[in-house]
Each structure stands twice: as structure tokens, then as C-alpha cells.
Amino acid sequence: MKQTCSVLCTVLLLGVMTPPVAYGQTCAATAGVARAPVATDDATQGYAVKDLWQACGHVWRAASVRPRAARWEPVFSSGLPADAFGQHTLFAGGTVRMVSGYTGHALGVTLTMQGQPQNITLDITADGRLDDVPLNQRDRGTYAVVTRVYDQSGQGHDLLAVPGKAVVHVGEAAVNGMPALSWGEQNGPGGFMLPPDLHVDSESFFFGTTGVYASSNSGYAAYPVPLLLGEAGRAFKVYFGGYELDGFVHLADSTNPDQRTSLVITNAPATFSVWAHGATYHLQSGNMPAVGHGRMNVPSLKGGYIGFNADGGEWFSQGRNTGIWTGLVLADHVNDSNAVEQFRVAAVLQGQQMPQVRPALVVLGDSRSEGFRVADGRNWPRLAQAYGQYQSYNLAVSGATTRHLLGMLPAAAQVAAHSGNHVAVVFGGYNDHLSQNHIGYDETLINLGKVIQSLQALRYYVVLVAEAPTDPVLRSKVMSAQAAGTLRPDTIVDPFASGSVLSNPGNTQYWDKDFTHFTAEGQAELASLIWASIKTGFAQSVH
């Protein structure tokens, strides 16, 4: 008999755990996974020991995943994410309370009121949330630009926006109802500098974020995304995608300038963390772990940069990712893996994350799916998450050709190996025919065919997006190849068909003035038009 989440949780947990936090409609709306785990939530369903499961304000950890005999144990957390590291927390901040009992300043922002810039401080109130009332007082059509993120740890390590490079917004994006700090292509290049007197142990530091990433493949030319610790020549970096736009998380340190790990970061609400322990880097995105290896040639790392751009020095260039963060934590010395687990549990509870979700969507494409020329992560794959509950992986990146799409297949294979039913959306080819790339139409069709066949071999349900009218020749060739059976996706969706609001690139409500990219409204329309095929794919795919 089908039971609601609230009834099931109450039956199983009455008198055992503290009352559930407010979960409301989110819990009821996702009843498939918003329930207590059972014995059949096992290895055959893709779960692993130490995976977390959250429903109705309770968390479980997998102690065993034996087939039909899985054992999930309740996990208790009385603290908040930054509490896990105690006195070793050097910075904690964001749009929510990250340290138990904290009330006070959260963000320094610049607002435009009656045409004039005003510097305002937003506080964390007694209920642990951001007092965002002042944001409603700014002039219509203007942004609240974050100039400072206050340190809630008591260490005084506030993050200051790089002078002239304050581009992070608040009030434009939310994660599970919580306001978030948001980067984006259209925001422009910039980020936050770590204080120069902040030092971390090079062999035992921790960095974690709560919230969302709007792209999994952001490291165009290996920009440090989202973190650089240390100084030039003696720095540790985390970035996504590497030099080859492959979609994996990469690391750089003194021993290796570009180390690809096995981790593909999810774009659904989740924690992301990296923990240095000796010569090993432990990474985590939701329930997905990975390791890297290396060692810094200095005992401590001084200062650094948090953001999505270059090295924080004189030269800045816009990175290819978008962070939508509710919280940040940096600790200088962590020897206990239990502290890292405590951070995960507290963050899962606070952010109402559901790391147990198994269906996965992978998007292979270029700037039109990455979200070029839109602000605050409003690309269509992120916007589509409003329609369903699944793990999202947006591998698209600006400038990608179909040759790059082929290079994204290993990341898609990694996702497939660790997910339930999975769907892939392919939308690319336009960049092949730019003068600098010298890729002919015949090769484009061959590459698209290889991408589709390879994804289907990985048991993806493949959705091909018809080419936009910006390139009528490629559009015609793709449609003809699909009709002739030389391109064989499981389905093709045409958001640009005659009669669609996206059919006319001259419509500036939906199209950018370059007649190639989409406005935020256009990205939202793409999400709506493509979602029906994604939903069908989840119903028909088999993991």
C-alpha cells in the first residue's frame, strides 16, 4: 500500500529521532524518494556503503547494501555544517546560518535605490535565515551585488570582492527556497579574495560548499573553479572540465598541474567538498566520492581565491561555470574523516538535499546549453530541474565542437555507472562551422552519430535537439539525417519549429542580439520545450 512520506516517517521514527524539520510540499511532491530507505535500496539500485539518504528532515547512512538486505542506520546531527570542524573552521559564511547560534552580519551588498548606489548590510536573523527585505527596495531591473561575505566563525576572515570585480549577486537565485550567492556568464569576471593572513595546512585542509553548480564542465582552460588556495607557483586548485572540456573534476598542485579525478559534479542541490589528508585528496559531490593524489611542497597555503575565474591576480577572464551557493566552509586542519561526514549530514539536513535520488540527466552541448550570456545560472538544464527530481549533469561548455562532445563521453559513462534510469540530451554542432574550427558538415553528422550510438550503448535514452535556424544548412542536414535514419536518437525535439516562440532569432525577448544565444526567457522556454522528451526518457530508460 502506498504511504505518504510523513506517515511512513512517523511510523518508523516516532520516539527515536527529534521531530522533522519543515519539509512541507517538497516532501509530498517527491514521494518516490521522500521516504525512509528500505532493505531493497541496495547495491543493485546503485547505492554504496556510506551513502546518505534524507527524507522528512531525517538522515540515514548506508551501513550495508547487500542485495535485498540493505541496512540504513539513522544519523543524528545537532549542529550546522561549519560546527563539524570546531576551532579549525577558519571561514564559514553564506546566505544561511552556518555556525550554531550565530546571529549578525551575513553579506555586504550594493543596491541601486532611486538611481543611486547604496551600501547595505544583510544579517542572519534569529531564525537562521537571511534578512533579505532590503533587496525588495532596490530599483526594478537592478542587481544586489555582493561586496563582502562575513565570516560567521568568529575568526574575522571576511571575504571581500576583488576591487572592481564585484559580480556575485544575491536575490536572483534560490536553492530549495533558500536565497543563494550566484555567479553567471553575464555577471562578468570576478570573485572573492581570501584574506592574506589566512593559512591552511597543505596536507589537511577542508573546503566545502552547499547549494548548486549550474554546470559540470566549467574549467575552460582550467580556470580554478571554485577554489584556489595559496599563491602563484605554490597553489592548490580545483576546477571542472580541464583543458579538454571532459566534464571531470580536476586538481592541480605542486606535483601535478592537471590531475583528472573520476568525479563528475552534480548540478542538483548537494554538497561539494575537497579534503586533503596527507598525500590524498578526498572529493565528494552528493553521494559520489573520488580521490586524487599529490602533495604540496610547502607546509601551509597562504591566502587564495574563491570564484569562477582566473588566478585572482591582475588578469581575470570569465570562467565557464556558475556557482549558486548558500554556504561556504574552509578549515585549516582536519585529521578526522568523521568531521567531514558530520559536515555532509548537517548540510544535507539544512539544505533539504536528497542525495539518494537515482535518475540522471546528462547534457552534452555548447554555449547554448551552458548558459552563455545569461546571469545567475539560468541555463535551460538548471531551469528544467523545476520539473522533476533527478541528478543533473550539464557537461555543455562554450566553444565546444562535436569533437569535444565525443570527449565528454567518458564523463557520461561515469554518470551512467552510478545512476538509475538515465537520459542524455545532445545539442551541438554549430561551433564546428566557425572559421577557426574547420570541421565540415559531413564530419559533424558523423560525430553526432557516434555520440548518439555511444550514449545508447551506455543505456541512455537519447534526446537530440534539432539545430537552431541560426545555421539553416546544419539544421536541414540534421533533420534530413534523422528522417533518413542515419542519425538515430531515441527521439528528436525541435524547439525551433514554425509556430514556436523560438522559431525567430530576431525575437529579442527570447534571443540575444547575436542571433545565436538565448536570453534568460529563451533558456526558460527551452527548458519547457525539452522537458517533455526528458520525462518520456526517464519513463522508458532502464538502468
Query: Where are the domains positioned within the chain?
Result: 5-75, 81-99+175-351, 360-540
- Do 70 and 41 form a contact (C-beta atoms < 8 A)? yes
For the record, the C-alpha cell of 500 comes out as 514556436
Residue 3 has pLDDT above 60, yes or no: no
Res. 220 pLDDT band, cuts 50 70 90: low
Q: Is 178 left (phi over 0), alpha (psi -120 to 50) or beta?
A: beta
Q: Extract the runs of DSSP E, i.e. beta strands, from 169-226.
A: 169-175, 178-182, 191-201, 206-213
Residues 6 or more apart from 88 whose CB is under 8 A from it? 331, 332, 333, 334
Cell of 63: 551501513
Q: Is the pLDDT of residue 473 over 80?
A: yes
Distance CA 19, CA 511 (A): 48
> 360-540 in CATH: which number?
3.40.50.1110
Cβ-defined contacts of 525-529 (< 8 Å, 24+):
525/495, 525/501, 526/380, 526/495, 526/502, 527/380, 527/381, 527/383, 527/384, 527/386, 527/387, 529/493, 529/495, 529/500, 529/502
Answer with the residue of higher pLDDT: 309 or 455.
455
What's residue 222's pLDDT?
62
Question: In the block, which residue shows the cell 537562521?
Answer: 128
Query: Which candidate, 480, 488, 478, 398, places its Cα nearest to that of 445?
Result: 478
Residue 531's pLDDT band, with cuts at 50, 70 and 90, is very high
Q: Which of 7-16, 161-170, 355-364, 409-418 has the lowest mean pLDDT?
A: 7-16
User: Do the beta carbons of residue 263 and residue 285 sit within 8 Å?
Assistant: yes
Q: In the predicted model, is pLDDT for residue 27 greater than 80? A: no
Please tell me the predicted confidence (pLDDT) of residue 219: 64
DSSP letter for each residue of 76-144: ---S-GGGGGGGGEEEEEESB--STT--EEEEEEEEEETTEEEEEEEEE-TTSBB--GGGGGSPTT---
Measured in Å, how far apart are the chain's first and last C-alpha atoms?
Answer: 25
pLDDT for residue 91 is more than 70: yes
Round to whole Å and give the CA distance between 302 and 403: 39
pLDDT for 10:
35
Query: Is the confidence at residue 468, as pLDDT, over 90?
Result: yes
Instruction: Please give the DSSP secondary-structure letter assigned to residue 43.
Output: G
At residue 509, the pLDDT reads 97
pLDDT at 35 over 80: yes
Q: CA nearest 157: which of 124, 192, 195?
A: 195
**187 contacts 380 by C-beta, under 8 angstroms:** no
**CA dihedral sign, ordered 175, 178, 179, 183:** negative
pLDDT at 74 exceeding the cut of 80: yes
Helix or strand or coil: residue 186?
Answer: helix
Average the pLDDT over each of 123-132, 216-225, 322-331, 428-437 and give the range with the smallest value.
216-225
pLDDT at 507 over 80: yes
Q: Which CATH class name applies to 81-99+175-351?
A: mainly beta
Q: What are the b/e assignments for 378-391, b being 16+ CB within 10 Å? A: bbbbbbbbeeebbb
pLDDT by residue (tens digit) across 262-317? 999 999 999 999 999 999 999 999 999 999 998 888 999 999 988 876 544 444 45
Nearest Cα neighbor of 341 from 54, 75, 149, 3 is 75
Q: CB 396: neighbour CB atoms within 10 A?
A: 33
Q: How confident is the model at residue 221 (pLDDT cuts 50, 70, 90)?
A: low
Distance CA 73, CA 167 (A): 43
Question: Residue 14 above 50 pLDDT?
Answer: no
pLDDT at residue number 436? 92
> Is pLDDT of 542 > 80?
no
Least confident of 30-39, 65-74, 169-178, 443-452: 30-39
Whether 447 has a pLDDT exceeding 50, the answer reads: yes
Confidence bin at 43 (pLDDT 50/70/90): very high
What pLDDT was estimated at residue 33?
81
Q: Distance between CA 481 and CA 51 in Å, rounded?
A: 43
Percent of the chain residues topping a pLDDT of 90: 78
Dihedral sign for Cα 535, 377, 307, 321, please.
positive
CA distance 458 to 412: 8
Residue 149: enclosing H or E segment and its boundaries?
strand 145-149
Residue 344 identity (one-letter amino acid): R
Mean pLDDT, residues 131-157 taken together: 95
* 3-state secondary structure string across 415-466: HHHCCCCEEEEEECCHHHHCCCCCCCHHHHHHHHHHHHHHHHHCCCEEEEEC
pLDDT at site 189: 77
Look at residue 27 and give its three-state secondary structure. Answer: helix
Q: Per-residue pLDDT for 190 more than 60?
A: yes
**CA gap 149, 325 in Å, rounded:** 12
171/168 Cα distance (integer angstroms): 10
Cis peptide before 117 (omega within 30 of 0): no
Average of per-residue pLDDT values in the chain:
90
What is the per-residue pLDDT for 461? 98
Amino acid at 432: D
> Each residue of 449-485: b (16+ CB within 10 Å) or e?
bebbebbeebebbbbbbbbbbbbeebbebbeebbeee
Residue with cell 523560438: 502
Cα gap 206→69, rounded to integer Å: 34
